Amino acid sequence: MRHGRSVLALVLALVVVSGGLVVTTGSAAQAAVSCSGTVTYSKTYGPGELTIFYNTSDGGTNSACFYHKGAAYGVAAPTYVRAYRCTERSGEGQPCTVAVSSSADFGNYAYYAGPRGVTGTANYCVAAVGYIDWQGYRYQISSGRQGC
Global pTM reads 0.79
Q: Cite the beta strand spans of 33-124 per DSSP E.
A: 38-45, 48-55, 61-68, 77-86, 98-101, 105-109, 112-119
d(CA 88, CA 94): 10
The residue among 34 and 64 whose pLDDT is bigger is 64
Q: Is the dihedral of CA 96, 98, 103, 104 positive or negative?
A: positive
What pLDDT does residue 31 have?
Answer: 43
Least confidently predicted of 32-46, 75-89, 99-113, 116-130: 32-46
Query: In this structure, what DSSP letter does residue 59 have?
Result: G
pLDDT tens digits for range 99-139: 999 999 999 999 999 999 999 999 999 999 999 999 999 99
What pLDDT does residue 11 have?
Answer: 35
The confidence band for 32, taking pLDDT boundaries of 50, 70 and 90, is: low
